[in-house]
Structure 1
Amino acid sequence: MDVPVPGNKSIRSSEGGDRISYLPQSLIEHILTFLPLREAAKTSILSTSWRDKWVNLPSLIFDDRFWTPFPVVETSAQYYATYGAVPNTIDKLVLNVFRVLCYHRGPLSGFSLSISQLRSYPAHVDQIMFSLYGKPIESLCIAIDGYKLPSRLFSFRQLKKLQLFGCMFTSSKISFEEFSMLTCLDLSSVKFPDVAEVSLTIRCPLLSALTMKDCGSAFNRLDILIEAPSLGLLHCVGSFSSLWVKEAPLLKDVTINQTASFAGHPKSNGPSNFMKLCGGCPAIERLSVAIQLFEDWGTLELIRQPDPAVNLMMLRQLKLNEVCLSFYHDMWRVVLLIQLFPNLQELIITTTTGASQKADINLPNQKLDRTRHYIASRLRKVELNRLQGVLSEMRFIQWVLSVTPKLVKMGITLSANIEPSHQIKTLKELNGFQRASSTAQIIFK
């Protein structure tokens, strides 16, 4: 269906009007913002008050609701014979998009393009993008799988919000330094050139939220550098090799889940993984990472002998994923991390699903004895998920219970593959552990 154009006559009520005709103009414009673009355009026939109001929409959203192609099982001739109309084509789609842009009035602050059929027509997407240059767009969303982003994307320097889904960068060195007004950056399933090394630099003084999901690949090294003094939220999930948060003094919420391994041992003159992530973020309150992030030796030494430059006094919640408490190094890193954060209030640990196939390596008693003097005075809630019930896990739980005088709740979830008899034995043993907190409850889920 074609988009109605300005100038169409409205349908008047036989009684000279109705309630919908006398709605305030501001309310009409507000209602239109909740409608798909095609439906908003159709409101022009309601009454004189609604005529052509859609052309003043501050944001235009072109998605699959805007474009409905004819069934692919029918040819154009069959479609015309059946329905008495010319089938929608890609050319007609692009024409309708340009008609909307042509008739649009006033400033265009938001633009979204996510029509799935366009993934096979990158030249048409380029034409649409080219028509946007020079417009005062503050929010831009491009969701076209495999679309190669043009270099002129970085000319939208007035952007405050940028969302890219399934798109591809063509350069191996990407920098967001030009976006001085950007406050929100969302990259999902974004691809990079098939080269050995790719660098992504994000230097945005006003950026407050950065989300990266399923970006990069295991075939190239992706190094991410972030300098964002206003950043408050960082969620990064994907195949990256290095993540360096160099300056983010206001960062509070961090989630890191990397599907490709870090470059194990850092260079002798380079910072450790821990320093890269936490060295420039003293205000972190919630941290969720995989324990493998701290596997390099530089990180382990930094945990043992804290650097005054790393001050995480604000950390309240720590989530550690993919932990195997049967591995000596994993357990020891967890113990050291707990000691590193004196104001920690909530600890959540999720073990790996394959932990049951790994050997049970007991942590020497003398190692834990060295930490008996330590008191986690603020830790109130502990959650342990998918435990296997092995000896090393039991010793770790015993240690946690002995150093947490303020503990209120310890939630434990056992793995589903544990035999019922072993589950009962494990539960009885856990209930028999001494606790530093008289109010601590062990709850089995």
Structure 2
Amino acid sequence: MERNMKEMRGSTSDIISNLPQSVKETILVCLPIQDAVRTSVLSKKWRYIWTKLPRLVFDDNFCRESTRKTKTELMMTIYQVLLLHRGPIPKFILNLSRLESCSEINQLILFLSNNGIQEFALLIRKGDPYKLPSSLFSCEQIRCLRLRSCVFKSPPEVKGFSRLLELVLYEVVVTADILSSLISSCPLLEKLSLKRSGNLDSLEINAPNLRFLCCGVPKRLPNSLNNLKTLKLFFVCFEEVNEISVILCLIRSSPNLEKITVVAPSTETVVVIYPVLELLEIKDWSGVSLNQLQVVQLGGLYGTRSELKFIKLLLAISPVLETMFIQTDSEKVVDEGLRILNEVTISTLVTSSRNQI
């Protein structure tokens, strides 16, 4: 019996050890990097498989067993992995929740620039933004670049990334001129995502192959819409950040509005998210006044906090407002929401009376 068990174990070991190289690499790619390294002790045939992995991911799974390590110790661990790695590294992701900006990242990017990097993600989560080194722009084969909390300053001799297909910038410090120049120097660019990155109100995008664009809405348009008197918007979801951002941008950019109509869609699910409430804070509207606005029509409301804040905002910036008409579906509006809307209606009538006096 014991002999049979040994034979079975030996047989299983041979099956695992004799797997095709491509299958072994596929298995290791699915593992956290530290677990992939540990497979080197399985047998001689597994010893160096991990050193040829085309994809290196250093995220919170990587450092789950080293929570007490300093950022310098973490970087040294990453260096050790890179020094033992053999061959090109097409994909590299550094996304640690404890990672702060540090000079050690410069050497890491320099190493990757000499090892065929095609997809690079650097997501800084803590501390000051990281200043990108010039070595990043020598990554001629890069096809996908994702950056978070970085300072993007390209040297004048850089012509861009000739093979770049996707660019994602989140909380990146960059001027509109530099970004416009970079985009125009990436002739193959297909996807561009800009979130909370610099003051890009006047960004010029010259990308003939662009298929996907995601960007934050500016607070106001570069040029005011002085001749716009009536603004009508339908199917507006007050819980969607992008939709509310567009509305507020149009209102800020239209100082001579006389009438505003906003109709929400008839939906059963209403979930208010905090970023929307932040956008509607009255304190951020100092210096904005709709001195010509006389009529506001709001339809399809449910009495949510975001809707209430929007109403209060319009009341605060419209000194000559005469009429605010609020239409709700009494069968769908919850009791609390209906009570809130009634209170707002009363306050609106009081405000209108004072304006007439």
- Normalised to the residue count of structure 1, the TM-score between the two structures is 0.50
Asked if 1 retains the 8 angstrom alpha-carbon contact of 2:308 and 2:341, the reply is no
State how 1:13-162 maps to structure 2 within 5 Å.
15=10, 17-18=12-13, 19-67=15-63, 88=69, 90-119=71-100, 122-145=102-125, 146-162=129-145
Q: Does 1:417 align with 2:337?
A: yes
Match of 2:148 among 148, 165, 185: 165
Query: Structure 1 pair 116/127, CA: closer, same or farther in 2 (3 Å)?
Result: farther
Residue deviations 1:331-390, cap 9 Å, x none?
79xxxxxxxxxxxxxxxxx98542333459579xxxxxxxxxxxxxxxxxxxxxxxxxx5
Instruction: Kindly indicate whether structure 1 or structure 2 has the higher relative contact order, using CA contacts under 8 Å at least 6 residues apart.
Output: 2
Structure 1 stretches of 5 or more lacking a match?
1-11, 73-87, 238-256, 273-286, 301-320, 333-349, 364-389, 398-411, 424-445
Residue deviations 1:104-139, cap 9 Å, x none?
22321111222344415x221112112222222110
Asked if 2 retains the 8 angstrom alpha-carbon contact of 1:118 and 1:124, the reply is no
**Counterpart for residue 221 of structure 2:** 262
Q: Which has the higher helix share?
A: 2
Please state whether the residue corresponding to 2:208 is helix, strand or coil. coil
Opposite residue 210 of structure 2, the aligned amino acid is: L
RMSD (Å), alpha carbons: 4.5
**Counterpart for residue 302 of structure 2:** none
Please state whether the residue corresponding to 1:419 is helix, strand or coil. helix
Asked if 1 retains the 8 angstrom alpha-carbon contact of 2:109 and 2:135, the reply is no
Query: Structure 1 pair 94/293, CA: closer, same or farther in 2 (3 Å)?
Result: closer
Q: How far apart are residue 154 of structure 1 and its match?
A: 1.9
Please state whether the residue corresponding to 2:214 is helix, strand or coil. strand
Q: How far apart are residue 143 of structure 1 and its match?
A: 1.2
**Counterpart for residue 355 of structure 1:** 310
Q: How far apart are residue 189 of structure 1 and its match?
A: 1.8
Q: Does 1:232 align with 2:211?
A: yes
**Counterpart for residue 167 of structure 2:** 185
Query: Structure 1 pair 70/391, CA: closer, same or farther in 2 (3 Å)?
Result: closer
Q: Which has the higher strand share?
A: 1
**Counterpart for residue 197 of structure 2:** 215
Query: Structure 1 pair 198/354, CA: closer, same or farther in 2 (3 Å)?
Result: farther
**Counterpart for residue 386 of structure 1:** none
Match of 1:391 among 325, 328, 347: 325
Please state whether the residue corresponding to 1:60 is helix, strand or coil. strand
Q: How far apart are residue 176 of structure 1 and its match?
A: 8.9
Work out the number of aligned pairs and report it: 271
Distance 2:141 2:131 in 1: 21
Residue deviations 1:392-429, cap 9 Å, x none?
668xx9xxxxxxxxxxxxxx878963328969xxxxxx
**Counterpart for residue 291 of structure 1:** 247
Query: Structure 1 pair 16/199, CA: closer, same or farther in 2 (3 Å)?
Result: closer
Opposite residue 152 of structure 2, the aligned amino acid is: F
Please state whether the residue corresponding to 2:93 is helix, strand or coil. strand
Q: How far apart are residue 21 of structure 1 and its match?
A: 2.9
Distance 2:327 2:158 in 1: 45
Residue deviations 1:22-78, cap 9 Å, x none?
433222211111111111111122234433211111111122333358665xxxxxx
Asked if 2 retains the 8 angstrom alpha-carbon contact of 1:69 and 1:89, the reply is no
Opposite residue 290 of structure 1, the aligned amino acid is: V
Opposite residue 55 of structure 1, the aligned amino acid is: T
State the identity as a percent. Answer: 30
**Counterpart for residue 284 of structure 2:** none
Query: Structure 1 pair 414/213, CA: closer, same or farther in 2 (3 Å)?
Result: farther
Q: How far apart are residue 181 of structure 1 and its match?
A: 1.4
Residue deviations 1:127-168, cap 9 Å, x none?
211222222211011112421111332222321110001222
Asked if 1 retains the 8 angstrom alpha-carbon contact of 2:71 and 2:100, the reply is no
- Normalised to the residue count of structure 2, the TM-score between the two structures is 0.60
Residue deviations 1:160-200, cap 9 Å, x none?
110001222246x999961221111111122348xxx8652
State how 1:426-441 maps to structure 2 within 5 Å.
none
Please state whether the residue corresponding to 2:202 is helix, strand or coil. strand
Structure 2 stretches of 5 or more lacking a match?
1-6, 229-241, 258-275, 281-292, 299-304, 344-357
Distance 1:93 1:31 in 2: 25
Please state whether the residue corresponding to 1:200 is helix, strand or coil. helix
Asked if 1 retains the 8 angstrom alpha-carbon contact of 2:220 and 2:250, the reply is no
Match of 1:200 among 145, 162, 179: 179
Distance 2:341 2:70 in 1: 65
Asked if 1 retains the 8 angstrom alpha-carbon contact of 2:202 and 2:222, the reply is no
Asked if 2 retains the 8 angstrom alpha-carbon contact of 1:169 and 1:192, the reply is yes
Distance 1:132 1:352 in 2: 49
Opposite residue 80 of structure 2, the aligned amino acid is: R
Query: Structure 1 pair 57/205, CA: closer, same or farther in 2 (3 Å)?
Result: same
Query: Structure 1 pair 175/139, CA: closer, same or farther in 2 (3 Å)?
Result: farther
